[in-house]
Amino acid sequence: MTLLAICGGLREESNTNKLVKKIAESTGMDYELVELGKLTIKPCTGCSTCMMNEGKCAIEDDMQGLYEKMLDADAIILGSPTYFKDMSGAVKCLIDRSIALFYRGIGPMYDPDMPFMGQRPLAGKPGVVVTTVAGAGHEEAIASMTFCMGEAHRLNLVEKLPEVIAMNDVDDMPEVLKRSEEAGKKLANALG
Ligand SMILES: Cc1cc2nc3c(=O)[nH]c(=O)nc-3n(C[C@H](O)[C@H](O)[C@H](O)COP(=O)(O)O)c2cc1C
């Protein structure tokens, strides 16, 4: 089993990343951590190259390796800080670029009547989305992440965690850590 844990926080001491790691550790499985802060993922240009070339994205950056990791993963955890009531720009770049996966020729059709919508290679894989926020906007952010990973990519999201941290460190918030721990256990259960 391969568990991919994507840390969308770009800060060294990112609370979001701490929760992503907590969820991953709590599965009891081996996992691969991807830290977006260490990668270069440029924005999608909408060039449609991926649509016309079996999902091959024209932008040669670190997303190329991440495509393979996402396809290989049996489960995915995605964390993003809440920025302006949404996921961060760095995480949105990843999500936008992930559209190329729809054209790899893998997985169920999104809609047989709309072939241009492609396929869904991540469909059915269990996942967790998590966001942290200072005060407000976390519900909007988690809804946005749920749309992208749950509705668009059709992951089976077993837990969605919108966590309010204020100016604290999650390491000092046992209730928050506990919810992440439980999310990790749910993820492990979903994988059987
Ligand atoms: C660009 C930016 C936008 C933000 N937008 C919000 C917001 O809409 N609501 C809020 O309460 N906090 C907001 N914050 C604070 C972050 O959500 C909060 O500090 C978060 O926990 C940071 O996650 P991290 O520790 O993983 O970096 C924002 C911070 C930044 C840098």
Rounded CA separation 173/3 (Å): 25
pLDDT at 192 (0 to 100): 86
For the stretch 4-18, pLDDT in tens is: 999 999 999 999 999
pLDDT at 15 (0 to 100): 98
The ligand 1 atom nearest the CA atom of 132: 21
With 0.85 as the threshold, say if the pTM is over it: yes
Pocket test of ligand 1: the residue of 7, 18, 133 to mutate, having most ligand atoms within 8 Å of its CB, is 133
Rounded CA separation 82/138 (Å): 6
Spacing of C-alpha 136 from chain mean position: 21
Residue 173 three-state SS: coil
How long, in residues, is the chain? 192
Distance of CA 95 from the midpoint of ligand 1 (Å): 19
pLDDT at 169 (0 to 100): 98
Rounded CA separation 161/176 (Å): 9
Pocket test of ligand 1: the residue of 83, 139, 140, 161 to mutate, having most ligand atoms within 8 Å of its CB, is 83
H or E, element range at 103: none
**Contacts of residue 152, Cβ cutoff 8 Å, sequence gap at least 6:** none
Domain 3-191: what homologous superfamily?
Flavodoxin domain (3.40.50.360)
pLDDT at 91 (0 to 100): 98
For the stretch 167-184, pLDDT in tens is: 999 999 999 999 999 999
Ligand 1 atom 3 nearest Cα: 83
Domain ranges of the chain: 3-191
Residues of the chain short of pLDDT 50, as ranges, are none
